[in-house]
Amino acid sequence: MPPYEGDLSQSRWFLAGMRGLFSLPAIILMISFVGFAAFALQSGVSRSEAMFMTATVWALPAKMILIGTMTSGANLLAIFLAVTLSSIRLMPMVASLVPEMRTSRTPTWLLLVLSHFVAITAWVFAMASFKNVPREGRVAYFAGFGITLVVVNTLLVGICYGLVSSFPPVVAGLLFFLTPSYFIASIWATGRQSVVKVAFIVGAVSGPLLAVMMPGFDILLAGLGGGTLAYLFDRFVIRAGKGTEAKEGDAALPVEETL
């Protein structure tokens, strides 16, 4: 393909990704950021600080943890560790998303830059949409969606920062919790492998229990322990069962069909 046509094609996919701003996941996330603006205002975080957090930290749970630890008077090291541990959950998303969109000509630095925009919204949207996007256009498509989403939400936080002061606290809380409610359903619906759904069930059961038994370490233990249990269950129970059924099916075939 000539360079001009290739650039035109990439621009087309970038614009297509930008239109993802009007998708249901993006709209729900923007509504949740209105709730974040209310939380930042009530916590004493300035407008510029809230906008800076949105653009640089990006993941909404990490920002909530950052503000929560700041207002609780925790030291800088504790704040750093809390935000870092909450963001480790994004590493498997990056690891599963990058192979879906990279090509032999995709520079590593570009993938590293785009990994900043990987959060649950972008991951769910991309994994659901990539089947309709050719591999050569996926980097531009994801860049258009991720960059637009971050820029729009950063501006939205700045605009809504003063407006949400008139919202009742219950309304602001409901706006914020729309995102986890939606993405609980989305993760289950988009799970392609059985291990994902097993991990989802283990996390849903163990998370509340660990929150009562070991508060402060519940997310870490539910993630590491639940993911490990899901992997072992999928590897030695589900796959073993499928392997046994396959062997029994082969054994039941007539001799002439097995030759």
In a domain, 164, yes or no: yes
Per-residue model confidence as pLDDT tens digits over 89-138: 788 889 989 999 998 889 999 999 999 999 888 988 998 899 899 999 99
Q: Would you state the pLDDT for residue 1?
A: 37
Considering the domain architecture, whether residues 176 and 221 belong to the same structural domain is answered as: no
In total, the chain counts a number of residues equal to 259
On whether the CB atoms of residues 199 and 226 are closer than 8 A, the answer is yes
Q: Would you state the pLDDT for residue 141?
A: 95
Considering the domain architecture, whether residues 63 and 180 belong to the same structural domain is answered as: yes
Q: What is the CA angle 134-135-137, rounded to 5? A: 70
- Average per-residue pLDDT for the chain: 80
Q: Which domain holds residue 211?
A: 193-252
Q: Would you state the pLDDT for residue 259?
A: 39
CA distance 248 to 258: 13
In a domain, 161, yes or no: yes
Considering the domain architecture, whether residues 123 and 26 belong to the same structural domain is answered as: yes
Both tokens assigned to 140? 């531009």
Is the per-residue pLDDT at 256 higher than 60?
Answer: no
Give the predicted TM-score (pTM) of the model. 0.70
Considering the domain architecture, whether residues 136 and 197 belong to the same structural domain is answered as: no
Boundary-marking domain end, from 144, 162, 187: 187
In a domain, 258, yes or no: no
Per-residue model confidence as pLDDT tens digits over 24-55: 888 888 888 888 888 888 788 899 999 999 99
What domain count does the chain have? 2
Using 50, 70 and 90 to split pLDDT, how confident is the model at 3?
very low
Both tokens assigned to 74? 């925790």
Nearest to 150 by CA among 40, 7, 20: 20
Taking the CB of residue 4, how many other CB atoms lie within 10 A of it? Answer: 8
Is the per-residue pLDDT at 57 higher than 80?
Answer: yes
Q: Which residues of 149-188 are buried (b: 16+ CB within 10 A; e: fewer)?
A: bbebbbebbeebbeebeebeeeebeebbebbeebbeebbe
On whether the CB atoms of residues 129 and 141 are closer than 8 A, the answer is yes
Using 50, 70 and 90 to split pLDDT, how confident is the model at 7?
low
More confident residue, 252 or 67: 67
In a domain, 259, yes or no: no
Question: Quick one: what percent of the chain has pLDDT higher than 70?
Answer: 81
Considering the domain architecture, whether residues 39 and 147 belong to the same structural domain is answered as: yes
More confident residue, 179 or 11: 11
